[in-house]
């Protein structure tokens, strides 16, 4: 089994033209390749995938703290309102007996983002240390991460819709707080992080070993 990269070839993402990698060029970090046919940017691996993913991931981790500690929205009912964080919202729903909704919010807003962060950090570390541990499982994990990431935006959308719809002055009012912005940033950043991570890097280490062996 030989990859395109191992064969010294690279495919264009737009015109799908196969072109030769120039000798002695490590495209991953230092060079910028162009398709000889359509002049669009080509690369055999996502350029600076690891550092990009790391950057986005670190930003996400930093913003994850205010996203969870600061209130995401204030629901004012009959002039009496108080700001809620994600967790306090979940607890309120649980107190109100709305278990399924509480579970949904919990999974989408707390469980998934944190899972994503952990998986991505794990993948990055494994690539960094050129781990050989279950590359297939790790690829599955990556796919799940990429797929499920967008669903964390549910919470942000709920806030958006509520803020838009519930504007009745003192009777009932929903205002977004700084936590919502942080949370949305976390979700977006992790989505980009998942996107910039190149799963082929998982296999590269193994293939190198195989080649060397």
Partner 1 sequence: MTELKTSYPSAQVNPKSRFSLIWIIPITAAIIGGWLAFKYYSERGTFITIIFDNAAGIEKNKTPIRYKDVQVGKVKKLSLTSDLKKVRVTAEIFPDMAENLGSNTRFWVVSPRITFQGVSGIETLLSGVHIGIDPGTKSAPLEIYHGLSNPPLITTGEKGTRISLKTDSLGSLDIGSPIYYHKVNVGEVTSYKLNPQDGSINIFIYVHEPYDAKIKTSTRFWNASGVELNLDSAGVSVRMESLTSLLIGGIAFETAEAEYGKELNGETTFKLYDSYKLANDDTQRNNKLFYLMYFKDSLHGLSEDSLVEYGGVKVGKVESILLAKNRSNDQMETIVKVSFRIDRFSKHADVLDAVETLKNLVSRGLQAQLTVDSLVTGSKFISLVTPKNPPAYSKGQQNQLALSPSEGKQTPIFPTATAQASLLSFDATEITQELNKAISSVTTLINSDDIKKTLAGLANTSESISKITTQLENKGFSGELMDTLSNAKTTTKDISLLIKETRKTMASITKSTSILQKDASLSMKTFNNVSNKLQRDTGKTLASIDKVSLTLDKGLKATLSEDSALQYRLQQLINELSEAAKSFSVLADTIQRKPNSIILGK
Token duo for residue 68: 């969870």
What residues between 35 and 54 interact with partner 1 by CB under 8 A? 35-37, 39, 42, 47-48, 51-52
Q: CB neighbours of 139 closer than 8 A, spacing ≥ 6?
A: 199, 202, 203
Token duo for residue 11: 């495919």
Could you say whether residue 30 binds partner 1 (CB under 8 A)?
yes
Contact at 8 Å (CB) between 75 and 81?
yes
Closer to partner 1 by Cβ: residue 56 or 72: 56
Could you say whether residue 120 binds partner 1 (CB under 8 A)?
no
Window 148-187: contact mask with partner 1 (x via CB under 8 A): ------------------------------x---x--x--
Could you say whether residue 124 binds partner 1 (CB under 8 A)?
no
Token duo for residue 186: 């976390």
Around Cβ 3, how many Cβ atoms within 10 Å? 13
* In the complex, minimum distance from the CB of residue 91 to partner 1, in angstroms, rounded to a whole number: 11
Could you say whether residue 213 binds partner 1 (CB under 8 A)?
no
From residue 176, alpha-carbon distances to 106, 110, 165, 171 in Å are 19, 18, 12, 17
Could you say whether residue 9 binds partner 1 (CB under 8 A)?
yes
Could you say whether residue 86 binds partner 1 (CB under 8 A)?
no
Rounded Cα gap, residues 59 and 188, in angstroms: 11
Q: CB neighbours of 181 closer than 8 A, spacing ≥ 6?
A: none
Closer to partner 1 by Cβ: residue 25 or 118: 25
Reduced to 3 states, what is the DSSP secondary structure of residue 145?
helix
By CB under 8 A, which span of 14-22, 109-117, 130-138, 148-156 interacts with partner 1?
14-22
Kindly report the length of the chain: 213
* In the complex, minimum distance from the CB of residue 107 to partner 1, in angstroms, rounded to a whole number: 24
User: Footprint of partner 1 on this chain (CB under 8 A)?
Assistant: 7-10, 17-22, 25, 30-37, 39, 42, 47-48, 51-52, 55-56, 58-60, 62-63, 65-66, 69-70, 78-80, 82, 178, 182, 185, 189, 196
């Amino acid at each position: 089994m030989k990859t395109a990269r191992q064969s010294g070839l690279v495919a264009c993402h737009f015109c799908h033209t196969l072109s030769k990698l120039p000798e002695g060029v490590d495209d991953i970090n230092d060079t910028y390749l162009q398709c000889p046919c359509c002049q669009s940017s080509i690369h055999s691996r996502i350029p600076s995938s690891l550092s990009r993913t790391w950057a986005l991931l670190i930003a996400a981790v930093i913003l994850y703290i205010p996203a969870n500690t600061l209130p995401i929205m204030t629901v004012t009912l009959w002039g009496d309102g108080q700001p809620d964080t994600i967790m306090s919202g979940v607890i309120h729903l649980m107190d109100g007996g709305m278990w399924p909704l509480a579970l949904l919010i919990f999974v989408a807003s707390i469980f998934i983002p944190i899972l994503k962060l952990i998986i991505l950090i794990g993948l990055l570390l494994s690539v960094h240390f050129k781990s050989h541990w279950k590359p297939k499982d790790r690829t599955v994990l990556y796919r799940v991460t990429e797929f499920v990431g967008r669903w964390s935006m549910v919470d942000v959308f709920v806030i958006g819709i509520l803020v838009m719809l519930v504007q009745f002055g003192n009777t009932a009012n929903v205002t977004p707080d700084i936590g919502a912005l942080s949370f949305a940033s976390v979700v977006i950043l992790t989505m980009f992080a998942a996107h910039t991570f190149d799963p082929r890097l998982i296999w590269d280490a193994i293939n190198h070993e195989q080649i060397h062996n």
